[in-house]
């Protein structure tokens, strides 16, 4: 007769902890910016009706609202809506230059951009302050998976050197970059408000439903 498997209290706790670690957690409580800090730039970040709203500031360089916690491998999901004339993005495993708190934010960035009439590059991966597009040139094909003026759902999986991106359930990017992973294996998540040309704006980008599951 096969005896039932008995777990020690410690084993039970370890299994429970393992299960808990696999659950997605919210990065935004819908009321405050607790757990976040601003890097670079003077764009305004505020909580409005349960969303994080970033507003451009004329004369400011790129601004970033960053998690205080660092992440390595993860599955990140969020909803985003952006003004048609504003470029934005979400940084993955980002770092500050030279490790200084006010150092230039750098690392992989998943693009957020309105589609317009001809389509755009939403969902592709840009190397912010580390050399430009990580998405291969031949794959930088404009598309219209991003719905202008509406909420769009992003899902991003960063596992080792591989980054996968979906927009509204449609696959957009599947990139493997060993070189960048070698320098950016872990870092913070940042919500970007891009700089704007003089005499333009203000423009806004809004985020909600931001969750992360560490892998």
Half-sphere exposure of 68 (CA within 13 A, CB side): 6
Answer yes or no: is 3 within a domain: no
pLDDT tens by residue, 100-124: 888 999 999 999 999 999 999 999 9
Answer yes or no: is 114 within a domain: yes
pLDDT tens by residue, 47-62: 999 999 999 999 999 9
Domain that holds residue 86: 26-214
CATH number, domain of 38, equals 2.60.120.560
Say if residues 93 and 158 touch (Cβ distance below 8 Å).
Answer: yes
Answer yes or no: is 7 within a domain: no
Beta strand 44-48 pairing with 162-167: unpaired
d(CA 36, CA 200): 28
Give pLDDT, residue 9: 52
Put simply, whether the predicted model's pTM sits higher than 0.85 gets the answer yes
pLDDT tens by residue, 4-16: 445 555 454 444 4
Q: How far apart are the first and last CA of the chain?
A: 38
Give pLDDT, residue 8: 54
Provide the β-strand partners of residue 161. none
Question: What are the φ/ψ torsions at residue 140 (nearest 5 degrees)?
Answer: -80, 60
Tokens of 132: 């430009």
Answer yes or no: is 116 within a domain: yes
Answer yes or no: is 11 within a domain: no
Answer yes or no: is 188 within a domain: yes
Answer yes or no: is 9 within a domain: no
Provide the β-strand partners of residue 26. 211
3-state secondary structure of 10: helix
- DSSP per-residue letters across 117-166: TT-B-TT-EEEETTTEE-S-GGG---B--S-TTS-EEEEEEEETTEEEEE
DSSP assignment letter at 31: S
pLDDT tens by residue, 63-87: 999 999 999 999 999 999 999 999 9
How many structural domains compose the chain?
1
């Amino acid at each position: 007769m096969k005896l039932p498997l008995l777990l020690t209290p410690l084993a039970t706790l370890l299994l429970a902890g393992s299960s808990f670690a696999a659950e997605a957690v919210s990065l935004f409580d819908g009321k405050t910016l607790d757990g976040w800090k601003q890097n670079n730039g003077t764009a305004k970040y505020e909580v409005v009706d349960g969303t994080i709203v970033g507003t451009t500031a004329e004369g400011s360089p790129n601004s970033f609202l960053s998690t205080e916690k660092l992440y390595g491998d993860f599955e990140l999901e969020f909803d985003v809506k952006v003004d048609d004339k504003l470029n934005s993005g979400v940084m993955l495993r980002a770092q500050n230059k030279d490790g200084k708190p006010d150092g230039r934010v750098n690392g992989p960035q998943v693009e957020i951009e309105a589609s317009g009439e001809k389509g755009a590059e939403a969902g592709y991966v840009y190397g912010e302050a580390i050399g430009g597009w990580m998405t291969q040139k031949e794959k930088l094909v404009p598309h219209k998976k991003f719905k202008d003026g509406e909420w769009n759902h992003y899902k991003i999986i960063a596992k080792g050197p591989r980054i996968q991106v979906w927009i509204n359930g449609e696959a957009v990017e599947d990139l493997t970059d060993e070189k960048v992973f070698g320098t950016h294996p872990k870092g913070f998540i940042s919500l970007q408000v891009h700089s704007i040309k003089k005499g333009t704006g203000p423009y806004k980008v809004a985020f909600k439903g931001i969750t992360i599951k560490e892998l």
